[in-house]
Structure formats: structure tokens, C-alpha cells
Structure 1
Amino acid sequence: MIYRFFLLILTGLFGHLIAPSTTTFRPSNTRIDRKAVVARHNVVVTRFDSMQSVSVGNGEFAFTVDPTGLQTFPDLYQHGVPLGTQSQWGWHSFLNPQQYRIEEVYKDYESHGRKIPYTYAYSQPERKKLASDWFRENPHRLHLGQVGFGLTKADGKSAKPQDLKNSHQVLDLWTGEIRSHFELDGQSVDVLTVAHQNQDQLAIRVKSPLLKTGRLTVTFRFPYASGDWENNTDWESTQRHISRLQPLTSKSAVIERTLDTTHYSASIGWSSSASLVQEGAHAFVLKPTGQLTSIDVSCRFSSRPTGETPASFTDTQKNSYRSWEQFWTSGGAVDFSGSTDPRASELERRVVLSQYLTRIQCAGSIPPQETGLTYNSWYGRPHLEMHWWHAAHFAQWNRIDLLERSLGWYQSVRKKAKAIAARQGFKGVRWQKMTDAEGNESPSTVSPFLIWQQPHFLYFAELCYRHHHNQAILEKYKELVFDTADFMASYAYWDPATKRYILGKGLIPAQERFKPEETYNPTYELAYWHWGLTVAQQWRQRLGLPRNPEWDDVLAKLSPLPVQEGLYLAAESAPNSYTFEPYITDHPTVLGAYGFLPASAQLDVPTMQRTFDKVMSVWHWEDTWGWDYPLVAMSAARLGRPKQAVDALMMKVTKNTYLPNGHNYQRNNLRIYLPGNGGLLMAVSMMCAGWDGYAGSTTPGFPTDGSWNVKWEGLNRMP
């Protein structure tokens, strides 16, 4: 017992109970040459490859391009990383003439003698199936419009990708600018592409002798929406939407868009003599006139019609340069140069590109979808259990403002989350899993039963407090913290027979391999419940409020983490956790109880050591996901296994593939996966800076055998 007590202290087991750290750590006085680190990972594209598109954006808006610097050949990329134009506000719903109601898809599950209604995706009968499908598909995120080049060969035919020669494109990460060069019939074309950092706008500068011969134009095409799981464009239903051109000045115009009840606009401005003409119901062409060899074009998308001309290319470029330099020169940085481990350069590349990608894809006003603002997955909907993986790292890299941008969304959907909890007979708010910008819950056979997204808000709030450490932040988030904890305490069922609180039945854990009607007391969720309620009590104490006795009762009597034969089980209801094939696939979240989370007094470190070894030896790693490798790495680091932490981050499996553009590839219909990028950043920050209570080397997640030369600065310790 004495040994265990000292082990708890040495491993920082009580770190979450002490005053949170607000210190940003730097291990040496040697400053990192940040620009050099970033520049050596600029993305270079020299050919048309459907998996190598690159993007500009600002967290609210993103625009993805091919080697021309625009979306000139979208069909080539449809089954790769598509050339999307998406925003946080761009949503659409099909009309509902059948008047489906969400109540039609509620399904009761019995739990402890009580029937609890869940928002279920029915496969039959037909009416319920159609209702389920409608609410899953609506609303869906829009592709706002394709902006490309019209390129004509000398023989008058439209150019194809193979007609473009000497392509060379660079995504300059330091400035957020894409520089593209190619040649058509021996004539050069040079393009600069940038995104405004405060508006949903792209801007380009084009230089080419093809402009004066009319062989290079700029095209704007607008699709109807699609309710497909992935594809978000319908080019066939031209009669179902309206595109109306309205001139503003001699060098600007606005295209007003109407899709059923959805309205938005695209404002277009240009620098030189040109005319914008309509050449189809939803196709427009900007045709330079005169002897031009260069032109600037800007296009701003807006949820509301506007009579304002968009910002010029020059102003947008300056805005992009300034904002990106501020981003890279503030916050955290790592430098692995000088390492002899052959994986160091690749890990550094993933780190740098993941910072860029999460900045433009995941730093918006609502939680992102898993494919960000590039193309749809799950109809474009956010998954709240993934919000931690998308955005928690911003706090650890000392960019707390990028995390806080999306936290206000929880307040906006609080009423709907409270209604879910009340409908099911619980207190507080039950945070949605698969949702939309308005906080509507999506029908699913899995999503409504998940609970591990629930404590995420407590984690976010605590990260904010650790950064600001003031009364204002406590007041800002206290009601959401308390509502979140109220649900957690009321969800835990008091079992009079065993005299303990139980999570489930009627849940699916983070490892989505278990049936809701059978599953109870998953290890990771038990640990997260305990940690979350502990944090909520700390918030009450910081505010000068008494501890909540209901929360304390759950904390004192919550079921222990389930153990069998010296190993933590995936769930108490799964004694065959390591022998039943489906249970050794998907997320190994049992390790999250000590890695993702700090330990609690419930956790026995030697048992977790054995569990870690078991997971590593039996797991089917090809059947995992992009954030699982950071999850394992964080557990390995806390357990004092730095070599295995690095091995986990760099595991050679399909879903740990990082494309040349930095995206984390998963499978054929999920070619990018931003939770993997965000998880990587969280793991690396923790492997560098450590965690509360840690007192060892300056880089606890990296081997000290001389193979890794790790320099870092501006990172924060993990709870």
C-alpha cells in the first residue's frame, strides 16, 4: 500500500486534484527557428494527383484547389481529396412534404426498469425508415460553388489535365499562400491563391499571356445540394435552384443563390477590364477584355446578400501574410532536426502540416465535421465525441483562442441538449453526438447511445481555466459545467443490490463494438466520469460554492474500474474483452483511462501496464482509426514507455497514413480524417511538455538514447 501511494505521487496520479498549471514550458534557452521548421515542410505538387489537392482557409471557410490554383478539374478529384468550397454557415435542407417528425423515430430501450427513448435510425417499417433517412440527411453541408479556370488550347478545344505542362505548385505554410505555375501550349500561367482570414473569401492573382487572347477565363459554377453521405454536389437538378447575377460596379457583381429555403451570395470583384457573363443556368464566366496579361479576382461567400465589393487581392494577401505569421510566431513549436531516428523528419512534417490543417479546418465557430471544410462525411455533420480530438490541442499549443471559438456553440444548443436529457428522464444537458449547426440530434443505431462526448465540455472548460486562471472564465462557463455534471450524476444508476453507481445498460462505449442493451461500466467512461465530476466540483469550490452532494455521492460510490485476471476490461459486461475477436478491434479506449486522462485513485498503474502489453499484443491494428495511435502514445508516455509512444505515433498501418498534403487517410470513402491530425498534435505536446505532477526529463514521450533531438517551446502540460 505504501508502495502504491508513492507510485501515485511519482506518476502524477493526483495531478488533477492540485491547482492547475498555467505555465508555458520551454526546455532550453535556444530559440527554435520557426520559419525554417515550417518552410521545410511546404507542400510541393508537380502533377495532377487526386490525393494531393491543397487548401486555403481560416477555420470558418476553406477552399481546396488542384495544381492550377483553382478548382479547374474537379472530376479528377471527386474520389480523392475533393475540390470543395465550404463554410460553417453553409447548410441546406430538402423540403419535407411528408411532414416527418423527429418523434417518429424515437425508440425505447429499457434500462433498470425504465423505458428511455433514443433517436433511432430505423430500417423498417417504411415510414420510419424514410423519416430516419430524412433526419439523417437534413440539414447537410453545402458546396458553395466551384471557382476554376476556363482554359482553351490553340486549336480551340478545352484543355485537359494532360495538356498542362511543367506544373509546379507550392503551398507556402508561413503565408497561407498557394503559388501555382503551369504551361499551356508553351504559354506560362502563374497564379497566387489566398484566403482572407476574417471573411469567407478567396482571392487570386493570375499572370499569363493567355489572358489577352481570351484563352484563359475564370469560371464560377454552382451545384444543387446533395443528401449523399459523402458527395455534396448535384449538377443534374438545375431546375431546383436559382442563380441570379446582379452587377454592382464595372468591376464587381454579386450572384444571389436560392436553394429551396436556403439563400446565400457570392460577391465577385476584379481589378482590370473584364466582363462577367452568364453562360448557363448556374454557370458564369469572367472574361478579360483588352490586352491584359494579369488580373486579380476576389470572391466572397456570404449567408446574407451584400452590396459590398469583396476585399482586393492585395488586401487579402496582406491579411493572409499577417495572420499566418502571427499564428506561426505565437503558440507552440517543435523541432526534431538533428535526430538520428529515421522517422523524425516525417513526424515533424506531420506536426507542422497538422497545425496548418486544423487551423483552417477545425478552428471555427461550431465543432467541425470529421472531414473539416473540404468535403462531406456523415452529411457534413459534427460529431461531438470527436471535438476533443479536433480542437483540444489548441490549448496545449498555447492557442486557446482557437479552441474557444467553438465553445460558445454549446451555449447556443444548450436548450436542445437539456430537452434530450429531460425526455430521457435525466437532469442537466445531454450533449448530442451526431448533430448539426443548430444542435439537432441525428437518428442513428449508434450515436444516441454514446456518452463519452459528455465530459468533453468539462475538459474544454478546464483547459480554458488553466490558461486564463481568472474569475471571468469561471463565470463564463459555469452554467454549462454544472449542467454537464448534473447529467453525469443523474445518468449514473444506483444499484441497491451492489450498493454502487453503474453506467449503463443502454450505452455504447467509445469502442463501438458493444450492444447498448447489454453493455455497462466501460472502463474508459468510468474513469472519465470520475475525472469530470471531480473537475466540476473544483469549479464550484473556485467559485466559492459548496460541493454538490449528489456529485460527491457518485464520486464516492461509482463502480470501480473492472479488472479480470490482472487486466482492465473494455467493460464490466465484457469478460471476454481480449478473446472475442470483435472486441479487439476499433478504438482501444481502455488505455484512455491512463493517457487521455490522468489517473484517479481508482486506477492501479501496474494493472494498466499489463493491460497496455495485452492490447499491444492482441489488437487488430488494421481495424483501428487515426486517433487511436495518439491515444496509445499518450498512454505509453504516462506509463514511462517513450519508445512505444513513438512507435505508436508512427505505426505502419493504413489508417495512420499521412498524405503529401498532411491529411490522415482512413479508407476509400474517408480520405481525410482531421481527428487524427488533432490527436497527433495533442500527443506530441504531451510527449514534449509532460503532464501535471510529472518531474522527469524534459521530453517524457521520447527515448533518451540519443536517437531523438527534441527542441520545443510554447507548449503546455496536459492535465
Structure 2
Amino acid sequence: MDLTGLQSFPGAYPVGARDELPPGTLLGTQAQWGWHSVPSQQRHNLAGSTVMYDSPRGPVPYVDMVGDIVNDRETGTSEAENWLRANAHRLDLGRIGLRWLDHGTERPLDQADITDAEQTLDLWTGVVTSRFTLAGYPVKITTACHPYRDEVAFRIESPALRSGLVIGVDFPYGSEAWHDAADWTRPDAHSTVVGVPMSSADDQGTTAWPVFRALDNSRYRALITGQRLGVEQTGQHTIRVSGEDMDPGAPDVLDFAVFFTPSGDGDCIPRGSNRSTPAAPQPGLQATAGYGVVLSTAGIVIAASAQYWPQFWSSGGALELEATDDPRAKELERRIVLSQYLTAVNCAGSLPPQETGLVCNSWRGRFHLEMHWWHAAHFAHWNRVELLLPSLRWYSTVLDSARQTAKAQGLDGVRWPKQVGPDGRESPSTIGTFLIWQQPHPIYLAELVYRANPSREVLEEFAEIVFESAVFMASFAHPTSRGFELGPPLVPAQESYGSIRATVANPTFELAYWQWGLRTAAAWRERLGLEPVEEWSVVADGMVKPRVIDDVYAAIDVEPFTIRTDHPSMLCALGVLPQTDVIDPATMRATLTAVLADWDWGSTWGWDYPVMAMTAARLEDPEAAVDALLLDAGKNTFLANGHNRQTDSLPLYLPGNGGLLAAVALMAAGWDNGPEQHAPGFPSDWTVKWEGLAEAP
């Protein structure tokens, strides 16, 4: 929302484009299920982008790109590649903003009309209160989102409601742009129809107007509800909401809610994906006839939010730094609190989130599985494992396609994709399809769930995901006279080596992750009373050790060995991961020192700073851990609302928030076989109070 508590000034909150297009906007409305695909004149498939690469197993097909990505811009890509990368894309479900109605003519507000603006998000209730003066009229707007339904509610209090202040709801077409979820240039490509209004069964005068949306094969509804509302369609894709026959003696108040929902067959969920089970109706909701939904009012939505968030803050983990003298402690605590809120809102749904969550699109709204750990692992560390479970369960819905990818490459098990929508279809890429560090992520996340709830039910639910991941990992590693090696081809977590993907081998982090992941999967078989898989142990025990040059770990095992840009991912091998046989702590300590000395901070990303903090903590250098978390660098910026800003095109970056929470939890609660002391990752002169945090592996 903007400073009006709605979406009244979309142009004032831009999201920068990565090509020569107009900017997008931060003011969108998105849901887990809200996806769309632009029809293609020809049936595109990944076979058209397949390129054969030499590997130790012989020629292997990879979904590559004819074009390339240069300075974050796609160049020379084919029509088929562009379509496959852009579809399905996440959809902006509707824009809700204030407008003036003057003698029958509706116009947007002018920013100059707004003065004395003050806006507060109450984290305890999740309710936003916006106060301002609009063309001389005082205005107060209360905004809330229902915790269990895709429903947003507004209470507008102002005498301006009697002088032409109304609400406009606009509906766009889906956009294939990298940075935008809305295309306003194709009004004839979709339809918006207001249905027959219906009344609630509670005799309270609540009425709902269903708005039916059709975009090619995608369907959804927006249900506008309230009492004494005027709702009318004033344009092809525009709805006006106003107060109807406001009694001269009645308060100057307009309450309404908008409930977005997929509409059954042909809805916005691509075939083959899952949908989270809807929660049971909350107290006070009344059933309606005809559409199989329940009606609520603005008051009910606001009350539901105010009931949910105190429960959130009163459960899970907590950390307090108030008594610490270091002036940086207050800023770190601010980031911790706001990151908990932002990740709970954006990262706890039925799908792994896109890197900008439900705020705005990046990479067309498609999510990146190598980032899933950074979005979600912290939920387990903060004793909120129930917020991790929905997205972890998604992997079971794409097992078949992941198995087909592995089989096509002559491998066993499942190979998890990188950049996908709900159906799990890979995107053509010169980098993404060559990444492997997402492969052990489901093992790690499932292990965190088991540590939180060490039950047979957890083991049985996620066994297939864990075991099939491990089968691929053992199959992918190939034996040599040195031991088991990884690649080529591949691209490590540090993507600086994408141009030499055909020759890259043995990245430091991935070697350690392979050993840890296979041993963890073996432990799952033992817990279930199953026979061990000998191959897993043979591969794990025989992994080659990473290359060391000048007493520090190189990033990869071939020239140029280490490029000092992008992620310093070799640090993850003892930081994100616990101690493994292939990593020497003294060498990793020298590697951390070398990274801190001269890494190109401008090329880093927000989660790199938690990486350095976790590595420093495990190496028993808590001062360096805190320094890393609060390093003064552009990509380590946390705005007033907690967003980890990266660039104009990435005005928020949730992996930075999630990584911060994972690092802080490790620093406070410690890790397996770590120092037996309170808050071992914090300096001894910091006063750290915590409860409910889980020890890291």
C-alpha cells in the first residue's frame, strides 16, 4: 500500500525494469494461486532449448539458452525461450485506490492533494492506520489483511466521502515483463464482469458483489463486500465503490472488503500444482448462497488480523538486545523484528516464494529453489516450523517432472529445477539449469522439520523427497582416482562462472553440501529402520576435498579458481553447513579473512552478509559475525519498513531477511557440538536474551 493505506499512487512507488520498459510498481495485490500464461501461437517445449554438454557420463542434455544474459539483460533469446521464461507469471489481481468523483467525472488523486501524512503499521495487530489531509478534508484509513483468506479490508473515515471521495478497483492483464505483474495495454485480452449482488444470511445488511475475471485460461473472482455500498462497473476493467445514500446524521465512514479467490475449473493455478487447504471459517463469518464462499466485513477482517498477530508474536522464538551498550544493537534488533513480520507475510505460503514475495514481481514472479533455504529455514530455527511446512510439501507435487529431468541426463532420483512456477517446469537459462546447490535443500529443510518434531510421521511424510534427492546426488557424483567429484558442467552458487559452465568442477560449498546431505539422508533411513544404501556412504566418504590456493579455499577446482564478485559461496561450506570432513576450519578462517579484505561488495547480495556471520560464528569469532551482519554496504541496506533493498529493480529482497534470521538464531542458540556457552555467536560484552530458538545443525 502507499501512504493512503490503499494503492492510490502507483507511479510514485516504482520498480525499475531490467530492459527498456516503463517501470513497474510496488503497489500490487498477489496471492499464492494467482498465476497467468499468455497464449503462444505455437506450442513451446523445453526440447527446443536443449543443448548437449560433455560430462563424465558422456553427452548430457541441458535446458540452455540460445541467447545470453549480459548485465542482467536478456539478449538474443529466441521467441520460444522468452515465452518459456515468462510463463506462467504471477498476476496482479487488482489495484485498489482512492479517486475523486466530480460531477460524474472520475479522476485520480493528485499527490499535491495530500498533506500531513502519517502512517503506522502496528506489528502487534497487523493493522495499518493512515492519517492525512486530502484537499482540506481530514482522512483516516484503517487497512488489514485476513490471516486465513486472501482478503483485504478498509475502513475510511472522512467528510470527503460526502464530497466525491470514492474507491476505484482496476484489473490488469498479466505481464511477461521481468519486473511487472500488470499489463494495462491489452484491455481486449481479458474480461471483467460484475455479477448479481448477494446478501448475507445474518440480517446485518451485508452485500457482496462478485467480480468475475477471465484471462485466457485463468479465472478468478474478486468479491467486494460491505454495508450500504454502491458498487458499479464504470469501465471495461474498472469498478467504483462508494457510500450509498449516506444518511446526513450518520458517521462519515465507508467500510468494505475485497476477497480474491480462484474460481474452480480453469482457475489461476497451473495444472499439476497444489493449492493450500483453506482454513475453516473463523467465528463471525456468515455463509452465502450460490458461490461456495463466506462473507465477512471490514470489521471482521480487522478483528481477525488483530487476533492472529498477537498469537504469532507470543509464540515461536524471541531475542532481545536492549541491554547491550553497543549502539549497533538497536539497529540489529529492528532488523530482526521486522524480518520476522515480512517473512511471515511473504514466505510462509503453499509455494516457495519469489524473491520479492507478494509485494511485486521479480523474474516474472517465478521462484528460485536455490533460494528456498534462505526464505524458509529460519522458520524452524525460530520455532515456527508450521510456517515452513506448506512450501516444503510442494516438492512432492513436482517429483515426476524432477525425475524426468534426472532420467534425461542419465541419472537416477530427482533433479530439482531452479527457476519455476507452481508446475515445476524449468526455465531456459545459461545459469539456472546448471546449478546444483538447490539439490540438498529439501534434505536440509526436512531435517529441520524433524529436529523440531522428531516423529515417525515426519520421517514418513518427507522420506521420498529426502531419499530421491540423495539418489540423484549419489548418481551425479562421479568416481575418479582422486575420489568422487562434481561436474562438469555446472554453475556453483557463486554464479560468476556461468560463462565457463562447460568446464566448472568441484565448487567448495557444493562438495561439502553433497557430503552432509548424503549422510543426513542415510540417517533418515536408519531412523526409519531401513537398510542403508551403501552407495550413499561410499560417495559421501569419498568426496574430494576442495582446492586450496595460498592457504585459502578456491571457489572452484579449475581456472580461474576464484573470481571475487557475487557470492563468496565457499564460506557456506562452514557456516550454512556444520563441520564436515572435507573442510578444515583453519583454512576456512583464512578464507573468511581474505573475503573480508577485498571482496567486491557492490556485486554481492543481501544473504551474503548472514553467510559471513554464520561462518565467523562457527569459527568462534563473534565480533566478526556482528560486523558482517551490520557491514556498511549497499546490498546490506534495510529500509525503514525492514525491506532489504538491493537495486531499483529489487527494492526488496527477502532472502536477505530470512538469512539474517537464520544467522541470528545460530549466533544466539548455538549449533551442534558448538561451544557450551550462552549466545556463542555474539561478543561477550553483548547482553543477549533469547527464548524459543532452536540449535542449528
User: Do these two structures clear the TM 0.5 threshold for a shared fold by scoring above it?
Assistant: yes
Structure 1 residues 388-537: aligned runs within 5 Å:
388-495=373-480, 498-514=481-497, 515-537=500-522
My pick for the range that moved more, 694-703 or 427-436, is 694-703
Q: Provide the residue aligned with 2:296 in structure 1.
A: 311
> How far does residue 101 in structure 1 lie from its aligned partner after superposition?
2.1
1:311 Cα deviation (Å)?
1.4
Contact 2:8 2:109 in 1 (8 A): no
User: Cα–Cα, structure 1 residues 185 and 668, in superposed 2: closer, same or farther, change >3 Å?
Assistant: closer
Residues 193-247 of structure 1: CA deviation (Å, up to 9, x unaligned) = 111111100011111112223x211211001111000012111211111000112
- The 5 Å alignment of 1:476-625 reads 476-495=461-480, 498-514=481-497, 515-574=500-559, 576-577=561-562, 583-625=563-605
CA distance in 1, matches of 2:238, 2:103: 23
Which structure 2 residues correspond to residues 345-360 of structure 1 after superposition, within 5 A?
A: 345-360=330-345
Deviation at 1:190, TM superposition (A): 0.9
1:683 matched to 2:663: yes
Match of 1:114 in 2: 58
What residue number does 2:210 align with? 254
After TM superposition, the score normalised by the length of structure 1 is: 0.87
**How far did residue 702 of structure 1 move?**
1.3
The answer for unaligned runs of 5 or more in structure 1 is 1-64, 578-582
The answer to whether the 8 A contact 2:378-2:661 is kept is yes
Which amino acid in structure 1 is aligned with residue 300 of structure 2? D
Provide the residue aligned with 1:183 in structure 2.
133
1:674 paired with 2:654, answer yes
- Is the 8 Å Cα contact of residues 252 and 309 (structure 1) preserved in structure 2? no
Q: CA deviation at 1:274?
A: 2.5
1:97-153 deviation per Cα after TM superposition (whole angstroms, max 9, x unaligned): 1222221111111112511111112229x9971111110011110000001111358
Taking the aligned partners of 2:141 and 2:533, their CA distance within structure 1 comes to: 61
- Report the counterpart of residue 226 of structure 2 in structure 1: 270
CA distance in 1, matches of 2:148, 2:582: 47
| Residues 164-211 of structure 1 deviation map (CA, whole Å, 9 limit, x = unaligned) | 121111011110100111112322111111111111000111111122
Deviation at 1:159, TM superposition (A): 3.2
What TM-score do the two structures reach when normalised by structure 2?
A: 0.90
Separation in 1, partners of 2:361, 2:502: 31
Q: Matched residue of 1:392: which SS?
A: helix
Task: Give the partner amino acid of 2:217.
Answer: T
What is aligned with 2:269? none
Preserved contact between residue 152 and residue 159 of structure 1 (Cα < 8 Å): no
Aligned to 1:371: 356
Question: How far 1:319 moved relative to its partner?
Answer: 1.3
Q: How many residues align?
A: 643
Answer yes or no: is the 8 Å Cα contact 1:104–1:128 preserved in 2.
no
Q: Which moved more, 1:317-326 or 1:563-572?
A: 563-572
1: CA distance, partners of 2:639 / 2:503 = 39
Say which SS state the counterpart of residue 407 (structure 1) adopts: helix
- Give the aligned residue type for 1:338: A
| Residues 313-328 of structure 1 mapped to structure 2, 5 A cutoff | 313-328=298-313
The alpha carbon displacement at 1:660 in A equals 1.0
Question: Contact between 2:482 and 2:544, CA under 8 Å: does it hold in 1?
Answer: no
Match of residue 220, structure 1, among 169, 183, 188: 169
Tell me the residue number matched to 1:297.
Answer: 256
Amino acid at match of 1:659: L
Question: Structure 1 residues 559 and 240, CA, compared in 2 at 3 Å: closer, same or farther?
Answer: same
- 1:47-126 superposed matches below 5 A: 65-79=1-15, 82-112=26-56, 114-123=58-67
Greater Cα shift, 282-291 or 505-514: 282-291
Residues 340 and 234 of structure 1, relative CA distance in 2, 3 Å threshold: same
Q: Distance in 2 between matches of 1:308 and 1:231?
A: 30
User: What secondary structure is seen at the aligned counterpart in 2 of 1:683?
Assistant: helix
Per the alignment, residue 24 of structure 1 pairs with none
* Counterpart Cα distance in 2 of 1:441 and 1:698: 44
Decide whether the 8 Å contact of 1:153 with 1:184 is kept in 2.
Answer: no
Question: Partners of 1:158 and 1:325 in 2: how far apart?
Answer: 36
Map Cα deviations across residues 54-81 of structure 1 (whole Å, 9 max, x no partner).
Answer: xxxxxxxxxxx11111111111112376
Is 2:626 the partner of 1:646?
yes
Say yes or no: does 1:381 pair with 2:366: yes
Task: Tell me the CA shift for residue 528 of structure 1.
Answer: 0.2
Letter in 2 for 1:265: R
Aligned Cα root-mean-square deviation (Å):
1.8
1:334 aligns with 2:283: no
1:30-49 alignment runs, 5 A limit: none
Shift of 1:709: 2.0
**Residue 130 (structure 1) aligned with residue 113 (structure 2):** no
1:715 aligned counterpart, secondary structure: coil
**Is the 1:268–1:310 contact (alpha carbons within 8 Å) kept by the matching residues of 2?**
no
Distance 1:460 1:79, change over 3 A: closer
Q: Distance in 1 between matches of 2:175 and 2:469?
A: 35
1:151 to 84, 96, 100: 100
Change (3 A) 1:203 1:128: closer
Counterpart of 1:369, as a letter, is: Q
Question: 2:287 corresponds to which residue?
Answer: none
Instruction: Classify the secondary structure of the residue corresponding to 1:716.
Output: coil
Q: Verify the 8 A CA contact 2:67 2:76 in the aligned structure 1.
A: no
